[in-house]
Amino acid sequence: MAEGRAAEIAVNREVWAIVNERFTNGAAEGMWVMPEVVWGLFATPERELGVLGDVEGMDVLELACGTAYFSAWLARAGARPVGLDFSGEQLATVRHLQARLGPDFPLVHADAEQVPLASGLFDLVVSEHGVAAWCEPERWLPEAARLLRPGGRLVFLTNSNLSALCVPADGGVAGDRLLRGQRETRRVQWPGGGIEFHPSHGDWVRHLRSAGFIIEAMHEIYAPDDGIDHPFYEIASREWANRWPAEELWVAVRP
Protein backbone atom coordinates (compact mmCIF):
# COMPACT_ATOMS: atom_id res chain seq x y z
CA MET A 1 0.00 0.00 0.00
CA ALA A 2 1.28 3.47 -0.86
CA GLU A 3 2.75 5.34 2.10
CA GLY A 4 0.33 8.24 1.63
CA ARG A 5 -2.74 6.01 1.73
CA ALA A 6 -1.43 4.19 4.79
CA ALA A 7 -1.13 7.55 6.56
CA GLU A 8 -4.71 8.43 5.59
CA ILE A 9 -6.00 5.14 6.98
CA ALA A 10 -4.14 5.81 10.23
CA VAL A 11 -5.85 9.20 10.49
CA ASN A 12 -9.26 7.63 9.87
CA ARG A 13 -8.58 4.92 12.45
CA GLU A 14 -7.85 7.59 15.06
CA VAL A 15 -11.04 9.43 14.12
CA TRP A 16 -13.14 6.29 14.62
CA ALA A 17 -11.57 5.58 17.99
CA ILE A 18 -12.83 9.02 19.08
CA VAL A 19 -16.24 8.57 17.43
CA ASN A 20 -16.68 5.21 19.12
CA GLU A 21 -15.88 6.69 22.54
CA ARG A 22 -18.03 9.80 22.18
CA PHE A 23 -21.00 8.65 20.13
CA THR A 24 -21.43 5.21 18.63
CA ASN A 25 -20.58 3.13 21.68
CA GLY A 26 -23.49 4.68 23.58
CA ALA A 27 -25.90 4.51 20.64
CA ALA A 28 -25.01 0.99 19.52
CA GLU A 29 -27.28 -0.91 21.88
CA GLY A 30 -30.35 0.97 20.67
CA MET A 31 -29.44 0.15 17.07
CA TRP A 32 -28.83 -3.54 17.84
CA VAL A 33 -32.30 -4.05 19.29
CA MET A 34 -34.24 -2.35 16.48
CA PRO A 35 -36.98 -4.72 15.27
CA GLU A 36 -36.41 -4.30 11.53
CA VAL A 37 -33.73 -3.47 8.98
CA VAL A 38 -33.55 0.25 8.21
CA TRP A 39 -31.20 2.41 6.16
CA GLY A 40 -29.41 5.63 6.88
CA LEU A 41 -29.76 8.85 8.82
CA PHE A 42 -33.54 8.80 8.82
CA ALA A 43 -34.11 5.05 9.27
CA THR A 44 -35.76 4.35 5.92
CA PRO A 45 -37.26 0.85 6.25
CA GLU A 46 -35.84 -1.92 4.08
CA ARG A 47 -39.42 -3.11 3.51
CA GLU A 48 -40.01 0.11 1.53
CA LEU A 49 -36.82 -0.18 -0.53
CA GLY A 50 -36.57 -3.94 -1.04
CA VAL A 51 -32.90 -3.96 -2.00
CA LEU A 52 -31.82 -6.96 0.11
CA GLY A 53 -34.54 -9.46 -0.61
CA ASP A 54 -34.71 -12.67 1.38
CA VAL A 55 -31.35 -13.04 3.15
CA GLU A 56 -32.11 -16.32 4.94
CA GLY A 57 -29.22 -18.74 4.47
CA MET A 58 -27.02 -16.16 2.74
CA ASP A 59 -23.33 -15.66 3.50
CA VAL A 60 -22.98 -11.90 4.00
CA LEU A 61 -19.95 -9.68 4.50
CA GLU A 62 -20.49 -6.25 6.07
CA LEU A 63 -17.60 -4.01 5.05
CA ALA A 64 -16.64 -1.23 7.48
CA CYS A 65 -19.25 -2.58 9.85
CA GLY A 66 -18.64 -0.17 12.73
CA THR A 67 -20.66 -1.45 15.65
CA ALA A 68 -22.18 -4.10 13.31
CA TYR A 69 -25.82 -3.44 14.10
CA PHE A 70 -26.58 -4.16 10.44
CA SER A 71 -24.96 -7.58 10.72
CA ALA A 72 -26.98 -8.22 13.88
CA TRP A 73 -30.20 -7.42 12.01
CA LEU A 74 -29.19 -9.72 9.14
CA ALA A 75 -28.29 -12.54 11.52
CA ARG A 76 -31.73 -12.34 13.13
CA ALA A 77 -33.21 -12.51 9.61
CA GLY A 78 -31.45 -15.84 9.02
CA ALA A 79 -28.27 -14.70 7.25
CA ARG A 80 -24.73 -15.76 8.15
CA PRO A 81 -22.94 -12.41 8.45
CA VAL A 82 -19.28 -11.56 8.95
CA GLY A 83 -18.46 -8.07 10.18
CA LEU A 84 -15.21 -6.40 9.07
CA ASP A 85 -13.80 -3.10 10.33
CA PHE A 86 -10.39 -1.46 10.74
CA SER A 87 -11.28 0.05 14.14
CA GLY A 88 -10.38 -2.13 17.08
CA GLU A 89 -12.47 0.11 19.32
CA GLN A 90 -15.58 -0.37 17.23
CA LEU A 91 -15.09 -4.13 17.16
CA ALA A 92 -14.64 -4.16 20.93
CA THR A 93 -18.08 -2.56 21.16
CA VAL A 94 -19.44 -5.29 18.88
CA ARG A 95 -18.03 -8.05 21.06
CA HIS A 96 -19.57 -6.46 24.14
CA LEU A 97 -22.97 -6.32 22.44
CA GLN A 98 -22.69 -9.87 21.17
CA ALA A 99 -22.04 -11.08 24.71
CA ARG A 100 -24.80 -8.90 26.17
CA LEU A 101 -27.53 -9.14 23.53
CA GLY A 102 -26.57 -11.63 20.82
CA PRO A 103 -26.52 -12.81 18.13
CA ASP A 104 -22.95 -13.96 17.73
CA PHE A 105 -21.16 -13.85 14.36
CA PRO A 106 -17.53 -13.70 13.17
CA LEU A 107 -15.59 -10.42 13.19
CA VAL A 108 -12.52 -9.51 11.15
CA HIS A 109 -10.16 -6.68 12.14
CA ALA A 110 -8.94 -5.48 8.74
CA ASP A 111 -8.98 -2.78 6.10
CA ALA A 112 -11.74 -3.15 3.48
CA GLU A 113 -9.23 -2.20 0.78
CA GLN A 114 -7.20 -5.36 1.59
CA VAL A 115 -9.49 -8.05 2.95
CA PRO A 116 -7.70 -11.13 4.37
CA LEU A 117 -10.39 -13.57 3.23
CA ALA A 118 -10.54 -16.02 0.33
CA SER A 119 -12.31 -15.15 -2.90
CA GLY A 120 -15.90 -16.14 -3.63
CA LEU A 121 -17.08 -16.67 -0.05
CA PHE A 122 -20.17 -14.44 -0.02
CA ASP A 123 -23.58 -14.08 -1.62
CA LEU A 124 -23.96 -10.48 -0.47
CA VAL A 125 -21.57 -7.66 0.43
CA VAL A 126 -23.27 -4.83 2.26
CA SER A 127 -22.24 -1.53 3.84
CA GLU A 128 -24.37 1.17 5.42
CA HIS A 129 -22.47 4.47 5.69
CA GLY A 130 -19.19 2.61 5.94
CA VAL A 131 -16.83 1.53 3.21
CA ALA A 132 -18.02 3.88 0.45
CA ALA A 133 -17.13 7.05 2.33
CA TRP A 134 -13.94 5.85 4.02
CA CYS A 135 -12.16 3.74 1.40
CA GLU A 136 -10.85 4.49 -2.07
CA PRO A 137 -13.35 3.17 -4.64
CA GLU A 138 -10.53 1.95 -6.91
CA ARG A 139 -9.35 -0.29 -4.06
CA TRP A 140 -12.44 -1.53 -2.22
CA LEU A 141 -14.75 -2.21 -5.17
CA PRO A 142 -12.42 -4.81 -6.78
CA GLU A 143 -12.11 -6.42 -3.33
CA ALA A 144 -15.90 -6.59 -3.01
CA ALA A 145 -16.13 -8.17 -6.46
CA ARG A 146 -13.42 -10.71 -5.57
CA LEU A 147 -15.19 -11.73 -2.37
CA LEU A 148 -18.55 -12.31 -4.06
CA ARG A 149 -19.69 -15.51 -5.70
CA PRO A 150 -20.91 -15.24 -9.31
CA GLY A 151 -24.35 -13.67 -9.19
CA GLY A 152 -23.62 -12.13 -5.79
CA ARG A 153 -24.79 -8.63 -4.98
CA LEU A 154 -23.20 -5.49 -3.58
CA VAL A 155 -25.48 -3.09 -1.68
CA PHE A 156 -24.02 0.05 -0.13
CA LEU A 157 -25.33 3.33 1.28
CA THR A 158 -23.31 6.52 1.28
CA ASN A 159 -23.75 10.29 1.48
CA SER A 160 -25.20 11.84 -1.64
CA ASN A 161 -22.74 13.69 -3.82
CA LEU A 162 -25.05 16.69 -3.55
CA SER A 163 -24.78 16.81 0.23
CA ALA A 164 -20.97 16.74 -0.03
CA LEU A 165 -21.14 19.74 -2.38
CA CYS A 166 -23.19 21.69 0.17
CA VAL A 167 -21.39 21.02 3.49
CA PRO A 168 -19.28 24.01 4.65
CA ALA A 169 -15.50 23.75 4.44
CA ASP A 170 -15.22 23.59 8.23
CA GLY A 171 -17.82 20.79 8.43
CA GLY A 172 -21.34 20.89 9.80
CA VAL A 173 -24.73 20.68 8.15
CA ALA A 174 -25.35 20.97 4.41
CA GLY A 175 -26.88 24.27 3.31
CA ASP A 176 -28.73 25.45 0.23
CA ARG A 177 -25.66 26.58 -1.76
CA LEU A 178 -22.97 24.71 -3.69
CA LEU A 179 -19.80 25.34 -1.70
CA ARG A 180 -17.22 23.27 -3.60
CA GLY A 181 -16.67 21.99 -7.10
CA GLN A 182 -17.84 18.51 -7.96
CA ARG A 183 -14.33 17.17 -8.59
CA GLU A 184 -13.31 18.38 -5.11
CA THR A 185 -15.69 15.92 -3.46
CA ARG A 186 -13.86 12.86 -4.77
CA ARG A 187 -11.53 13.16 -1.78
CA VAL A 188 -12.41 15.43 1.13
CA GLN A 189 -10.53 15.98 4.37
CA TRP A 190 -12.63 17.69 7.01
CA PRO A 191 -10.86 19.97 9.53
CA GLY A 192 -10.05 17.85 12.56
CA GLY A 193 -11.69 14.86 10.88
CA GLY A 194 -10.94 12.04 8.52
CA ILE A 195 -10.44 11.60 4.79
CA GLU A 196 -13.64 10.73 2.91
CA PHE A 197 -14.53 9.86 -0.67
CA HIS A 198 -17.69 11.16 -2.35
CA PRO A 199 -17.46 10.43 -6.08
CA SER A 200 -19.92 11.84 -8.57
CA HIS A 201 -22.56 9.58 -10.10
CA GLY A 202 -20.49 9.28 -13.25
CA ASP A 203 -17.43 8.26 -11.24
CA TRP A 204 -19.41 5.65 -9.29
CA VAL A 205 -20.67 4.14 -12.56
CA ARG A 206 -17.13 4.06 -13.95
CA HIS A 207 -15.64 2.51 -10.80
CA LEU A 208 -18.37 -0.12 -10.49
CA ARG A 209 -18.11 -1.12 -14.13
CA SER A 210 -14.31 -1.23 -13.93
CA ALA A 211 -14.57 -3.63 -10.98
CA GLY A 212 -16.82 -5.90 -13.06
CA PHE A 213 -20.21 -5.01 -11.59
CA ILE A 214 -23.52 -4.52 -13.37
CA ILE A 215 -25.50 -1.72 -11.73
CA GLU A 216 -29.08 -2.64 -10.86
CA ALA A 217 -30.26 0.50 -9.09
CA MET A 218 -29.38 3.70 -7.28
CA HIS A 219 -31.96 4.95 -4.81
CA GLU A 220 -31.85 8.57 -3.70
CA ILE A 221 -32.92 8.70 -0.05
CA TYR A 222 -34.89 11.63 1.35
CA ALA A 223 -36.00 12.29 4.91
CA PRO A 224 -39.68 11.61 5.67
CA ASP A 225 -41.97 14.53 6.39
CA ASP A 226 -42.27 13.52 10.04
CA GLY A 227 -38.60 12.59 10.54
CA ILE A 228 -36.21 14.06 13.09
CA ASP A 229 -32.56 15.08 12.84
CA HIS A 230 -29.99 12.38 13.50
CA PRO A 231 -28.78 12.61 17.13
CA PHE A 232 -25.09 13.07 16.26
CA TYR A 233 -24.34 12.71 12.53
CA GLU A 234 -24.94 16.20 11.17
CA ILE A 235 -24.43 15.59 7.46
CA ALA A 236 -27.86 17.00 6.66
CA SER A 237 -30.84 18.18 8.64
CA ARG A 238 -34.27 16.60 8.23
CA GLU A 239 -35.47 19.83 6.60
CA TRP A 240 -32.62 19.78 4.07
CA ALA A 241 -33.02 16.06 3.37
CA ASN A 242 -36.74 16.49 2.84
CA ARG A 243 -35.93 18.73 -0.14
CA TRP A 244 -32.80 17.06 -1.53
CA PRO A 245 -31.48 13.50 -1.27
CA ALA A 246 -29.02 13.17 1.60
CA GLU A 247 -28.01 9.61 0.78
CA GLU A 248 -27.56 7.24 -2.14
CA LEU A 249 -28.20 3.50 -1.96
CA TRP A 250 -26.42 1.59 -4.74
CA VAL A 251 -27.20 -1.97 -5.81
CA ALA A 252 -24.88 -3.90 -8.16
CA VAL A 253 -24.37 -7.51 -9.23
CA ARG A 254 -21.27 -9.52 -9.99
CA PRO A 255 -22.28 -11.36 -13.20
User: Can you give the pLDDT at residue 11?
Assistant: 74
Examine residue 35 and say whether the peptide bond preceding it is cis (omega within 30 degrees of 0). no
Contacts of 115 (CB under 8 A, 6+ apart): 61, 63, 84, 108, 143, 146, 147
How far CA 171 is from CA of 15, 140, 188, 191, 192, in Å, comes to: 14, 25, 11, 7, 9
Percent of the chain with pLDDT over 70: 93
Which residue range(s) make up the domain with 78? 3-253
pLDDT of residue 133: 92
pLDDT in tens, 30-59: 899 999 999 999 999 999 999 999 999 999
Q: How many domains does the chain have?
A: 1
Mean pLDDT of 227-234: 68
Task: Decide the pairing of beta strands 148-159 and 122-128.
Answer: parallel
DSSP-derived secondary structure letter, 169: T
108-121: pLDDT as tens digits: 999 999 999 999 99
pLDDT at res. 48: 95
DSSP string computed for 126-144: EEESSHHHHS-HHHHHHHH
The answer to whether 218 and 205 have CB atoms below 8 angstroms apart is: no
CA–CA distance, 202 with 78 (Å, rounded to integer): 35
CATH number at residue 123: 3.40.50.150
- Mean pLDDT is lowest, of 9-13, 33-37, 155-159, 239-243, for 9-13
Element (H, E) at 19: helix 3-19
Please state whether the predicted TM-score (pTM) of the whole model is above 0.75.
yes
pLDDT computed for residue 10 by the predictor: 75
Mean pLDDT over 226-238 rounds to 75
Give the mean pLDDT of the chain: 91
38 and 100 Cβ atoms separated by less than 8 Å: no
